[in-house]
Chains A and B, each alone.
Chain A
Amino acid sequence: MLHRLTISELTARLARREVSARDAMQACLDQVARADGAIKAFISHNPADALTQADAADKSIAAGADFAQQPLLGVPMALKDVLAVKDHPLNCCSKILGNFVSPYDATVVEKLKTAGAVIFGRLNMDEFAMGSSTENSAFQTTRNPWDTSRIPGGSSGGSAAAVAADECIASLGSDTGGSIRQPAALCGVVGMKPTYGRVSRYGLVAFASSLDQIGPFTKNVRDAATLLEVISGHDPRDATSIPQPVPRYTQALTGDIRGLRIGLPKEFMVGGLDPEVKRAVDAAVTHLQSLGATVQEVSLPHTDHDVAVYYIIATAEASANLARFDGVRYGARVDGVDPLEMYGNTRGAGFGAEVKRRIILGTYVLSSGYYDAYYLRAQKVRTLIRQDYLRAFEQVDAIVTPTTPTPAFKLGEKSGDPLQMYLSDIFTIGCNLAGIPGLSLPCGFANASQPSALKSQPRLPIGLQLLGKPFGEETLLRLAHAYEQSTPWHKEHAL
């Protein structure tokens, strides 16, 4: 049962030499073998290499390694297929990367390795992180571990599902408009998007460079703090990373949230919300109050424009970032009589429908005659959205919202209608546009009240989203931890 442990539980046992890193790795490999035929979170993994890494961790432990220095020593982790791990495949779950093998480690991967983690697999995602259900993967469709007829969320659906199914102890994903928080909510795990610039993106395949951040998926808040502490920090190789000292995030978990001020944006807690989501979030707010937080209404008046601004800015940036996939230097190539024809053929055959849709939209909003009307205007409205958040944070320490308007939807339910899919991100996008940190943690289940004898539908996790001030990760983690430790949700396992 070692695969069911958290980072802190596993490392405590490793430190006491009660278990070996090899045993823990084997337990995760066994769970992948047992569960992943149905869940399909892993694109690839290498058991032999995983066990070799675990043996190396055991040697370090035997030689007296210090877990304070290496807080992930012997911890089996898998990563979203968008992060470069030297000599591992990298596909962004797209056909266009062909048989690409990373020539170097992403900065976060270097940091994980230095901290002792065992990195053993590639996790499924929407192609180039574009999607909200992981159905846009060119490889396979990941299932929600709580109900395999439903989506795990996206774009980091594999990362969320693998942690929820206890196939790995923790994972990393990337979040451009909710791609960590939304699947974390739908799969019942903790997911965090740090402040823009908190974590280096060197070695993350770029989608929308003014929005992307890397963040952790974990089974509880303490593990999120541990992992965030490992991956954060300034990196000269990412000019957008910010030279700000990294706090000891685990020390923020005091359990004491008395006097913290929580804001409820009136624009979020209104119609259109699934009634069970609303009930769970209302109850969570009441619970936070009972723990000593104060609650007040705040206003984010431009919320209504988040989705439109996002789908202009994100697609514009994506159209530029994805120009590099042209069949010249790496990946698959479909030949043509001249380079121009080769680019078109390669990209036409290599990209999937959603990626093409976004490249076309992004190219259009940047094209001559439309730039001012769409892209520049969106950037200006983005300023207003960001100002709304900063103004709200003059009154409160954190903002609380549902992470998603509904629990996990059915496979195929929205895949035919891109706009409907985009609208499922309404609660998570503002965080990326404003550049602030956000965290989702479990706050209950839909279908929970059905008597078990009449239980026709499985229970589906509901996520609570906490948004914080720029570099306010400690406050978010403190709030989330206090809530989690006084509620039962994180103790439940999907499998």
Chain B
Amino acid sequence: MRSEVGRLKVEWLKGEGALFNPSHLAVRPTLNLELSTLNFSFRPVSAPEFNIKYVAHLARLKLSPEEETQLGAQLGNILGYIEKLKEVDVTGVEPTAHAFPMVNVFRADETRPGLSNEDALRNAPKKTNGLFVVPKVVE
């Protein structure tokens, strides 16, 4: 199946003042970042796998129907692109959560000055009696 990204590349090559004009391509027989970045096939992620409504609910994000359609299509493209990570052999590789892992970063257990109640509530959209006000949680 012809990928969206593949199509994108063809358009770039054709486009006026194209970023990736073929005449720009070096002839060195090394890994070509541009081609290897873009030239791969993938299976477009379709509706059953990528349920935009479900993910938007998880993210607490209300989307309009137009946004659902547009984001769904764009994310399908992007997910297709990141599928390429499946090419990499990661057997026995530890994950990196931070470049310089710092463990057990403690501070002395002492009271310190913090924000006053007034400062903490300064930017509250709704407040009363020194508290944040939110819609009713239970009936």
Contact = CB atoms under 8 A, between A and B. Distances in A.
A313 B34 CA distance: 22
B94 interface: yes
B95 A271 contact: no
Interface string B76-120: 011101101110101001111111101001010000000100011
Given A328-B134, A380-B90, A197 B34 contact: no
Greatest chain B CB density within 10 A among A236, A361, A420 is at A361
A426 B50 CA distance: 26
A47 interface: no
A419 B84 contact: no
Contacts of A328: 125, 132, 134
Contacts of A16: none
Nearest to A373: B86
A16 to B, nearest CB: 41
A418 interface: yes
B46 interface: no
Interface in B8-34: 8, 12, 19-20, 24-26, 28, 30-34
Contact of B135 (A100, A268, A337, A379): A337
Interface in A144-195: none
Interface string A81-121: 00000000000000000111101100000000000000000
Tell me the dominant secondary structure on chain B's binding face. loop
Contacts of B75: 357, 360-361, 364
A366 to B, nearest CB: 9
Interface string A329-346: 111110111111111110
B128 interface: no
B99 A270 contact: no
A242 B61 contact: no
B1 interface: no
A27 interface: no
Contacts of B122: 101, 103
Contact of A418 (B33, B35, B74, B120): B74
A31 interface: no
A308 B90 CA distance: 15
A267 B60 contact: no
Interface in B39-72: 50, 52, 55-64, 67, 71
A200 to B, nearest CB: 13
Contacts of A360: 52, 55-56, 59, 61, 71, 75
B115 A103 contact: yes
Contacts of B132: 328-329
B32 A272 contact: yes
A8 interface: no
Interface stretch (A35-43, A222-230, A297-305, A480-488): A297-305
Contacts of B100: 196-197, 240, 242, 435, 470
Nearest to A416: B74
Contacts of A240: 98, 100, 102
A405 B61 contact: no
A420 B20 CA distance: 12
B33 A419 contact: no
A376 interface: yes
A420 B8 contact: yes
A332 B96 CA distance: 36
A489 interface: no
A271 to B, nearest CB: 4
Most buried by B among A103, A266, A302, A327: A103
Contact of B95 (A330, A353, A380, A423): A380
Nearest to B27: A271
Contact of B34 (A272, A333, A351): A272
A338 B99 contact: no
9 contacts: A103-B119, A267-B33, A272-B33, A307-B37, A311-B82, A342-B135, A348-B64, A360-B61, A423-B37
Given A338-B135, A384-B93, 15 more contacts: A197-B99, A266-B30, A272-B35, A302-B88, A348-B61, A353-B71, A363-B58, A364-B75, A367-B55, A376-B95, A377-B86, A382-B95, A419-B5, A420-B8, A435-B99
Interface of A: 98-101, 103-104, 196-197, 210, 236, 239-240, 242, 266-275, 301-305, 307-309, 311-312, 319, 323, 326-333, 335-345, 347-349, 351, 353, 356-357, 359-361, 363-364, 367, 373-374, 376-384, 386, 405-406, 417-420, 422-423, 426, 433-436, 470
